[in-house]
C-alpha cells in the first residue's frame, strides 16, 4: 500500500479534515456532499415510449409517499424511446427502499424498463487516472475536497510519478503504473486489478495519455469518462491542439465522453469551447484549452455522479 | 384601415404567399407553424407544491389517451410552489378537448391550480410596437414570414413613419401613432384602442422608445414583452449603452422581460451578452448590441408563444 | 435587366431612400456608411518579418501628415511573417493619395511587401448568391439597408425564384440562374459572366447550396466567402446538421470561410457555436443554427469589407 | 516567520521543485515562466494623442536593434489619448537596457508620456489575501506552481486559519491576520506592514471578504486586484448571488477590477458570465459562479502581470 498522509480523515469519503470547513464537528453517516441538500433516491428509467409511463410511475411513488423534488423526462420521438429521472425525498417514503424496489418490479417489467434506484447518500467510488498534466486532476481534487463533488476517490493511478506528492497530501493513495509499449498487456492487467481492488464504480481519465485496451473498455462500459482536448468529432487522436492550430480554427474546445473501444468516438456527455485567434501561439492555445478541459470534465463527471446521464445508442440524454 | 399589399394571403396567419415556401399547395386549417410538428394541447399548471400532483395529472391524461410528447416540471422548494407544462398530442385524445377541460376542473380545484390548456394550432395575435430602430422588427418579421415564429401579427404600431413601407410589404397593416409629451394620455388611449380592435393577445415592444402608462401595463399584465438594451438590473432607463460605455464594462447585454408599471423592473424572460473591449466606440457597442437584442427578444417571445413562461412573483420559470 | 423598384435611390450605394433614416438631406459623395466615421485610407501590408518595418512605415506616414486612428500588427514567429493594417485619416494627409502610393513603392520593394491602400469611402461591390434559405440573405440585406454594412450590392443571383420579390423590394436586381446537374458548366459560365458584368469585388454564398467549379474559385480567389453550417472541420459537405444530430454533439456551429477548390477546406474567417441538447429535434437544431450562421457570416463579411482579413497559407490573420 | 515546507525550492520564484516538471535540472537565472518564451522588455506608454508617436518610438527601437515581437496600440478618439505596448526581444538590443531607458527620456518628455519599461524575466511579487473560500486561491496556486502564471507569491494572508495547511504545502508562508470590527485599524495596519515587508508589487483579493481602508487602497492604487462575484455594476456589495437570485437574472457573472476607495466601483479589468435558470437553487448558483470567478480572476491577473492593463480614468485599456 502506498504511503498516505496521516491527518485525521472522514470515514465516509476518506477526506482529510483540514478542508472540511462546511462540516459540523460531529457528522453522522451517511454524509451528504452538500450539507444543505437532503438525502434523496434517484429513480432512473429508460424504456420504449408508450402511453401511461409517467402516470404509472408517479402514481406508484405517490402511493408510497414519495415526494418528488426533481423530475425530468425525455421522449425521443425518432427512436421511440422514453427516459426519466425522478429525485425522491428519502425521508418522505412510507416504506423501506428495498420494499419500494421490489414493488416497482412489476411496473418495470410491464413497460420493459431498464431502471435503477440510487441513493444520493451513497457516494460512488471514482478512480482517477492521470499522466503528467496536472490541471484536470488538481481541479477535480479541489472540487472533491471542498465538497463540491460528492464521491469517494479511493486512489489515483498514473504512469508517471510527478503527481504523487500532491495526491498523497489529500490523503489519497497514489499508484505508479508505468505503461511501456512492449508490455502494455501486463500494465493494463495491473491497472484492471487495481480498479477491482479499489472497487471502482467509475473511472475518470483526467488527461491520461494512454489508449485503454478494449477489454478494459468493455469491463467498465458506460463507466469510464475521458476528457478529450478538442471539440469532437474534430481532431480525433493525438495532438488535437496542433491539429486545431494548423487548421486555423477560431474556437478550440474540449469533449467529455464515455470511452468505448473506438478512439474518441464514444457517447458525448459535455462539450465547450473558447475563442482563440491568430495572436495565440500553440503554447497559448494549450494553456487556454486547459481551462475548458477541466470545466467540461468536472461538469460531465457531475452529471454522471448525479445519475443524470442516460446512454442510448451512441448518444446521451442528460436529465438536468 | 391602412393600405395593405394586395398579394394573395394565407387565411390563418394573414401571411403573403411569396415567402411560404415550406407550405404544400393546399393547406388545411388549422395550420401549424412548423409543418413537421404535430398539433398539440399544452397544459400549463402552477399550484402549491404537495404530494401527488404529477400522479393526478398524468393519470388523468392517460385515462383520456393523452400521449405526452414533452413534459417539464419545476418545484420551487423555497416558495413551496409547483409548475408544470405538458404537451399532449391532440390526435391521441379519446374525447373532445372541451370535455377534457371540464373533467380536469375537479383536479384543478383540489390542488388549487392556476391552469390553462392551449392549442398549438391557435396562433396568438401579437401586435408589435416600434419606434425608429428597425433591427428587432425586421428580425421578428423575417422569423414570422419564414414560419419560424408561429403567430398572427395583426398590425404594427409606431410613433414614426419610417417603417411603414417595410411593414406593409409584408401585408401587415401599419399604424402611425405619434406620442407627444403634451398629449400622452390621448396617444396611449388610441394605442390601447388599437390593441383592443386588433384583439391583441400579446404586445411586443420591439425597441419602442416610449414608457407605457400604468393603465396599459395593468390591462395587459404578463402579456407585454419588452427588450431592454442592457443586462438588467444594470443600466436601467435611458441610454443604457452610453452608461455601459462610461462604466467600462467588458460585456454588454440585452434583457427580454415582461413590462410592469415599474420601469425595466418586470420579470426577466431571457438575457444574453456579447464581449466588447476598449477598441469599440460607442457606435460599435450599439451595433454589436443590436445582434444580442434581436436574438434575446426572439427567444423570449418564442418561449412566451409556446406557453413556456410561468410568472411567479417577479421571477419567471421557463419550462423548456 | 431585371425589373427593379422605382423608388428614389442613393447614387453611391444604389440603396432606396426609404430606410436611409440616418442620412442628412443633402449628402455629398463619397458617402460613408456610418455618418459618424471619418474617411480613412487603409494600408494593408504583409511581408517577411525583419527589423524596422513598423519604423519605416510609420515614419513614412508621419512625414506625409498621416494621422493613424487604428493600427494593428501581427508577427507570426513560426512562419517568420509580418502583417499590418493602418487606418489613416484621409483628411490628414499632406499630399494626394496617388503620390503617397508612388512614394511608398521603394519601401514596399525593400521589405518585399504585398500591400494595398484602400479607401474607406469606396464601397466594395458584393454580389450575393443564395438558394432557398432566406435567413442569411435577409440578415445581410437588413444590415446593408440600415447602413450597418458598407458595400454596394449590385445584384443577387439565385438558383431559385423564391427570393425575387424580397430582393427587388430593396431595389436590387435579381437574377435567376438555375443549375441543372446536366448542364453545370453553362450555368456557372452564366454566373461567372454576371459577376463580371456587375463588376463584383466580392462574392458571398449566403447559403448557396451549389458547389462552385474550380475555375470560378480561382478567378475570385480570396474573394468568395461561404457560410458553412457546421463547426469546421467537423461535418464537411452535405447535411452537416444531420451529421451533428447523429453524433450527439452538445454544441452546433457555423463557419465563415474563403472558398477554395477543395470543399469546405478554405481559410477560416470566423466561427461560432450555440448549445443544443437531446431535447432539440433535428428541426430545432436547424432553426437554432440559423441564428449562428447569419451572425457568423455578417461578422466575417464585415472583417473582409473593412480589409481586416489577411490570408497566409490556409489560415487567416484578422486585424481588429 | 510562519513555518514553511522544507522541500527544495527554486531561488527565483520560491517554488517547490515537486511540481516543476517542465524545468531542466539546472536552471539559470533569470528563469522564465514559459520555457518556450524568450526574455523580452515591455515598453508601456500612454500620452496625449498626436502625430508621429508610433514613428518616434518604433524608429528609436529600430535604431537600437529592438526586435518587436508584439505590438499593440490604441487611440481613444474621445479622450484624445494614446496607449501602446511593445514587447521587445531582450537579446536583440544593441545596448544595455539602462542606456535604452536614458536615451528614451527625451522622446518621452517631448510627447508627455507616462511610460515604463519592464523585464519579462523579473517576476512581480504578488501577495494573496483570502478568507474562507478556497476556489480562487487553489486555482491561482495551481496556475503558479504549474508555471502558467509567472510571479513570486511571497506570502498568503488570511483572516481565517483554514487555508494554512494547503498554502504551506506549496512552500509559501501563511499569515493569519484576523479582522475584528472593533479593531479594524490595527488589523489593516498589520496587513499593510506585511505587504511592505514582503515587498508586494501587486495584491490580489482572492475572495477576501473584508473592505480595505482607503489608506491601503491609495497606497497600492492600480495594484490591488479584486474579484467580485457579480457582473458589475449589477449587485454591488454584500451577497451578490442572493441579489441575483432574488432578481431572477438568467446569467450570473464575476468581475475582476482594481480596488479603489469606493466599493466595487474601480476600473474593470475582466468580466464573464454563466447561464443559470429557475432550476438552480441559490447553492447551485454559488457553485456555478465559482468557476466564473476563478477564471475571470486568473485572466485579469495575467493581463496585469504581463503589463497589458493601462488605466485611464475609471476604465481600462487591455493591450492584448
C-alpha cell at A56: 404509472
Tell which of D79, D96, D119 closes a domain. D119
CA dist., res. D164 & res. D269, Å (int):
29
Note whether C54 contacts D68, CB cutoff 8 Å: yes
Query: What distance in Å separates the CA atoms of residue B139 and residue B149, rounded to the nearest whole number?
Result: 11
CA-based torsion, C43, C44, C47, C49: positive or negative: positive
**Distance in angstroms (rounded) separating the CA atoms of residues D55 and D68:** 14
Confidence of residue C15 (pLDDT cuts 50, 70, 90): low
Place of cell 495596519: D189
Q: Distance of alpha carbon B242 from its chain centroid, rounded? A: 28
On whether any CB of chain B is under 8 Å from the CB of A76, the answer is no
Judge: C55–D52 Cβ closer than 8 Å, yes or no: no
Q: State yes or no: pLDDT of B8 exceeds 60.
A: no
Q: Which is nearest to B41 in space by CA: B92, B82, B75?
A: B92
Quote the minimal CA–CA distance from B134 to chain A in Å: 30
* C277, three cell numbers: 441538447
Q: Nearest 5 degrees, angle CA C124-CA B283-CA B143? A: 75
Nearest CA in chain C to A271: C250
Residues A85 and A232 in one domain: no
Handedness of CA A270, C298, C192, C163 (dihedral sign): positive
Q: What is the pLDDT of residues B169-207, one digit of tens each?
A: 999 999 999 999 899 999 999 999 999 999 999 999 999
Residue B265 CB burial class (10 angstroms; 0-12, 13-18, ≥19): middle
Task: Please tell me the number of Cα atoms within 13 Å of B174 on its side-chain side.
Answer: 23
Ranges of beta strands (E only) in D1-160 are: 40-48, 68-76, 81-89, 114-119, 126-130, 156-158
Per-residue pLDDT tens over the stretch D257-290: 999 999 999 999 999 999 999 999 999 999 999 9
Query: Among all residues of chain B, which has the CA nearest to that of A81?
Result: B69
Q: Which of C38, C43, C55, C274 to mutate against chain D (most D CBs within 10 Å)? A: C55
Q: Does D81 touch chain C (CB under 8 A)?
A: no
Where do we find the cell 478538442? A230
* Nearest chain C Cα distance for residue D273, angstroms: 15
Predicted-complex ipTM score: 0.90
Kindly state whether residue D282 falls inside one of the protein's structural domains: yes
| pLDDT tens digits for range C254-285 | 999 999 999 999 999 999 999 999 999 999 99
CB of A251 less than 8 A from some CB of B: no
* CATH number, domain with residue C82: 3.30.70.260
Q: What residues in C contact B275, CB-CB < 8 Å?
A: none
Give pLDDT, residue D11: 53
Cell numbers at C5, concatenated: 423598384
Mean pLDDT of D134-143: 98
Smallest CA-to-CA distance from B248 within D85, D252, D317 is with D317
Q: Do C68 and D75 touch (CB under 8 A)?
A: yes
φ/ψ bin of A186: left (φ > 0), alpha (ψ from -120 to 50), beta (otherwise): alpha
D9: DSSP letter:
B
- List, in sequence order, every beta strand (DSSP E) within B7-142: 40-48, 68-76, 81-89, 114-119, 126-130
Cα A122 from Cα A97, distance rounded (Å): 13
**The pLDDT of residue B310 is above 90:** yes
Has residue A257 been placed in a domain? yes
Same domain, B301 and B204: yes
- Whether residue C264 lies in the annotated active site: yes
- Does the predicted model carry a pTM greater than 0.90? yes
> pLDDT-based confidence at C218, cuts 50/70/90?
very high
Task: Check CB contact under 8 Å for D69 and C75.
Answer: yes
Is D35 in CB contact (< 8 Å) with chain C? no
Same domain, B233 and B191: yes
> Residue B26: helix, strand or coil by DSSP?
coil
C-alpha to C-alpha distance for B126 and B79, rounded to whole angstroms:
32
Low-confidence ranges of chain A (pLDDT < 50): 1-8, 17-35
Going by the DSSP 8-state scheme, the letter that residue C173 receives in this structure is -
Rounded to whole angstroms, the Cα distance separating B167 from C174 reads: 21
Size of interface A-B (CB pairs under 8 A): 46
- Cβ of residue B280 closer than 8 Å to a chain D Cβ: no
Facing residue for B148 by CB, picked from C21, C37, C287: C287
Domain boundaries, position A244 = 124-318
**The three three-digit cell numbers of residue D308, written as one number:** 497589458
The answer to whether residues A70 and A307 touch, using CB atoms and an 8 Å cutoff, is no
Looking at every residue in chain D, the average pLDDT score rounds to 91
Inspect the interface and report whether the beta carbons of D54 and C54 lie closer than 8 Å: yes
Helix C240-247 / helix C282-305 crossing angle, nearest 10 deg:
120
Q: Once rounded to an integer, what is the mean pLDDT over residues B72-97?
A: 96
Domain boundary (B94, B119, B144) is at: B119
The beta strand positions in C120-249, using DSSP E, are 126-130, 156-158, 174-176, 202-205, 224-228
- The last residue of a domain, from among C57, C88, C119: C119
C131 shares its domain with C82 = no
Contact C59 D59 (CB under 8 A): yes
Residue D8 domain flag: no
* C-alpha span between D20 and D17 (Å, rounded): 5
Alpha helix (H) residue ranges in chain B: 53-63, 97-110, 135-145, 164-169, 184-197, 214-219, 240-247, 282-305
Find where cell 510562519 sits: D2
Cell reading at A111: 413497460
Selecting from A21, A132, A148 the residue whose C-beta is nearest the C-beta of D162 gives A21
Q: Tell me the average pLDDT across D190-201.
A: 98
DSSP secondary structure code for residue D256 in this structure: E
CATH number at residue A188: 3.40.50.170
Active-site residue, selected from the candidate residues D264, D272, D291, D307? D264
Distance of alpha carbon A290 from its chain centroid, rounded?
18
| pLDDT attached to residue C102 | 98
Query: Per-residue pLDDT for C32 more than 90?
Result: no
Structurally, how many domains does chain B consist of? 2
Task: Answer whether A250 sits within 8 Å of C232, measured CB to CB.
Answer: no
Q: Is residue C271 part of a domain?
A: yes
Same domain, B203 and B250: yes
Q: Is residue C4 included in any domain, yes or no?
A: no
Contact yes or no for D249 and B270 at CB 8 A:
no
Does residue B87 lie within any of the structural domains?
A: yes
| Nearest-neighbour CA in chain D from C41: distance (Å) | 16
What is residue B88's DSSP assignment?
E
Q: Is the CA virtual torsion C200, C203, C206, C207 positive or negative? A: positive
CA distance D8 to chain B (A): 42
What is the percent of chain C with per-residue pLDDT over 70, rounded to a whole number? 89
Domain assignment present for residue D15? The answer is no
- Give pLDDT, residue A68: 95
By Cβ distance, the residue of A268, A278, A315 closest to C316 is A278
Query: C278 vs A232: CB contact, 8 Å cut-off?
Result: no
Q: Are residues B98 and B247 in the same domain?
A: no
pLDDT above 70 (res C77): yes
CB-based contact A254:A228 (threshold 8 Å): yes
Q: Which residues of D touch C66 (CB under 8 A)?
A: 51
C233 in contact with chain A, both atoms CB, cutoff 8 A: yes
Inter-chain CB proximity C250 and A267 less than 8 Å = no
Subunit contact C54:D51, Cβ cutoff 8 A:
no
**Torsions phi, psi of D30, nearest 5?**
-80, 140
Residue D32 confidence (pLDDT) above 60: no
Q: Quick one: B79 and B198 in the same domain?
A: no
C58 to D59: CB separation less than 8 angstroms, yes or no = yes
Residue from B101, B113, B172, B124 nearest B303 by CA: B124
- C9 in contact with chain B, both atoms CB, cutoff 8 A: no
Set C49, C264, C291, C307: catalytic member: C264
Question: pLDDT category, C37, cuts 50, 70, 90?
Answer: confident
> In chain D, pLDDT over 70 holds for what percent of residues?
89
Q: Which of D52, D68, D77 sits opposite C69 (nearest CB)?
A: D77
- The per-residue pLDDT for B30 is 29
Asked whether residue C175 carries a pLDDT value surpassing 80, the answer given is yes
Rg (CA), chain D: 21
Confidence tier at D15 by pLDDT (50, 70, 90) = low
Question: pLDDT tier at D16 (50, 70, 90 boundaries)?
Answer: low
Question: Residue B313 is placed in which grid cell?
Answer: 412573483
Question: Three-state SS string across C97-156, please?
Answer: HHHHHHHHHHHHHHCCCEEEEEECCCCCEEEEEECCCCHHHHHHHHHHHCCCCCCECCCE
Is the C-alpha dihedral spanning C158, C163, C164, C166 positive or negative?
negative
Secondary structure in 3-state letters for chain A: CCCCCCCCECCCCCCEHHHCCCCCCCCCCCCCCCCCCCCEEEEEEEEECCCCHHHHHHHHHHHCCCCEEEEEEEEECCCCEEEEEEEEEHHHCCCCHHHHHHHHHHHHHHCCCEEEEEECCCCCEEEEEECCCCHHHHHHHHHHHCCCCCCECCCEEECCCCCHHHHHHCCCCEEECCCCHHHHHHHHHHHHHHHHHCCCCEEEECCCCCCCCHHHHHHCCCCEEEEECCCCCCCCCCCHHHHHHHHCCCEEEEEEEECCCCCCCCCEEEEEEEECCCCCCHHHHHHHHHHHHHHHHHHHHHHHHCCCEEEECCEEEECC
Name every residue whose Cβ is closer than 8 Å to that of residue A215 and which is 6 or more positions away in sequence: A188, A192
In this predicted structure, what is the pLDDT of residue A37?
A: 75
Comparing CA positions, the residue from B286, B298, B18, B259 lying closest to residue B141 is B298
Q: What average pLDDT does the segment B303-309 reach?
A: 98
CA distances to A142, C142, C290 from B141, in Å: 50, 12, 15
Query: Do C241 and C289 touch, CB atoms closer than 8 A?
Result: yes
More confident residue, A9 or B31: A9
Nearest to B36 among C138, C166, C283 (CB): C283
Against chain B, the chains showing at least 3 CB pairs within 8 Å are A, C, D
Confidence of residue D48 (pLDDT cuts 50, 70, 90): very high
Residue of B nearest to A54 (CA): B58
Is pLDDT above 90 for C87? Answer: yes
The answer to whether residues B87 and B160 belong to one domain is no
Q: What integer pLDDT is reported at residue D12 of this predicted model?
A: 52
- Determine whether the interchain pair A253/C251 forms a contact, defined as Cβ–Cβ distance below 8 Å: yes
Dist CA C227 CA B96 (whole Å):
48
Can you tell me whether residue D274 is helix, strand or coil? Answer: strand
The pLDDT value recorded for residue D93 is: 97
B105 and B151 together in one domain: no
**A34 at interface of D, judged by CB pairs closer than 8 A:** yes
pLDDT averaged over chain C? Answer: 91
SS3 category, C71:
strand
D126 close to D94: Cβ distance less than 8 angstroms: no
**Is residue D110 included in any domain, yes or no?**
yes
How far from C121 is each of A168, C82, D150, CA to CA, in Å? Answer: 66, 27, 46
> Which chain B positions have a beta carbon within 8 Å of A54's beta carbon?
54, 58, 62, 68, 71
- Alpha helices by DSSP H, listed for chain D, are 53-63, 97-110, 135-145, 164-169, 184-197, 214-219, 240-247, 282-305
Question: In chain B, what residues touch C136 (CB-CB under 8 Å)?
Answer: none
* Closest C-alpha to C116, from C85, C152, C92, C91: C85
Q: Which of B36, B38, B45, B55 is most worth mutating to test chain A (most A CB atoms within 10 A of its CB)? A: B55
pLDDT at C61: 98
- Which chain D residues touch A34 with a CB distance below 8 Å? 283
Same structural domain for residues A84 and A196? no
Q: Would you say residue B229 has pLDDT above 70? A: yes
Contact A253 C249 (CB under 8 A): no
Nearest to C146 among B134, B279, B283 (CB): B134
Residues 6+ apart with CB under 8 A from B37: B120, C283
Residues C45 and C132 in one domain: no
Task: For D279, name the nearest residue in chain B, comparing CA atoms only.
Answer: B74
Q: Is there a single domain that holds both residue A202 and residue A102?
A: no
Amino acid at each position: 500500500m502506498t504511503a498516505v498522509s496521516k491527518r485525521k480523515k472522514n470515514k465516509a469519503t476518506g477526506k482529510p479534515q483540514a478542508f472540511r470547513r462546511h462540516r459540523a464537528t460531529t457528522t453522522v453517516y451517511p454524509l451528504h456532499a452538500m450539507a444543505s441538500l437532503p438525502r434523496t433516491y434517484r429513480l432512473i428509467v429508460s424504456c420504449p415510449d408508450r402511453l401511461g409511463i409517467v402516470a404509472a410511475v408517479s402514481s406508484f411513488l405517490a402511493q408510497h409517499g414519495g415526494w418528488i423534488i426533481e423530475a425530468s423526462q425525455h421522449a425521443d420521438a425518432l427512436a421511440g424511446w422514453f427516459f426519466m429521472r425522478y429525485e425522491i425525498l428519502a425521508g418522505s417514503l412510507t416504506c423501506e427502499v428495498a420494499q419500494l424496489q421490489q414493488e416497482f418490479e412489476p411496473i418495470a417489467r410491464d413497460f420493459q424498463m431498464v431502471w435503477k434506484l440510487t441513493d444520493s447518500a451513497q457516494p460512488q467510488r471514482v478512480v482517477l487516472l492521470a499522466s503528467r498534466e496536472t490541471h484536470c486532476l488538481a481541479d477535480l481534487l479541489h472540487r472533491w475536497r471542498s465538497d463540491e463533488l460528492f464521491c469517494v476517490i479511493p486512489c489515483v493511478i498514473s504512469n508517471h510519478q510527478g503527481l504523487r506528492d500532491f495526491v498523497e497530501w489529500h490523503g489519497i493513495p497514489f499508484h505508479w503504473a508505468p505503461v511501456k509499449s512492449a508490455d502494455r498487456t501486463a500494465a493494463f492487467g495491473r491497472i484492471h486489478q487495481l480498479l477491482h481492488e479499489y472497487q471502482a464504480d467509475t473511472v475518470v481519465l483526467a488527461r491520461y495519455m494512454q489508449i485503454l485496451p478494449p477489454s478494459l473498455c468493455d469491463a467498465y462500459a458506460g463507466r469510464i469518462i475521458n476528457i478529450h482536448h478538442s471539440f469532437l468529432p474534430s481532431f480525433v487522436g493525438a495532438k488535437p491542439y496542433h491539429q486545431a492550430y494548423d487548421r486555423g480554427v477560431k474556437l478550440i474546445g474540449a469533449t467529455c465522453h464515455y470511452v468505448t473501444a473506438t478512439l474518441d468516438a464514444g457517447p458525448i456527455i459535455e462539450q465547450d469551447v473558447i475563442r482563440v485567434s491568430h495572436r495565440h501561439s500553440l503554447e497559448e492555445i494549450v494553456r487556454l484549452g486547459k481551462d475548458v478541459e477541466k470545466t467540461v470534465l468536472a461538469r460531465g463527471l457531475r452529471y454522471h455522479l448525479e445519475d443524470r446521464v442516460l446512454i442510448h445508442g451512441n448518444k446521451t440524454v442528460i436529465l438536468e
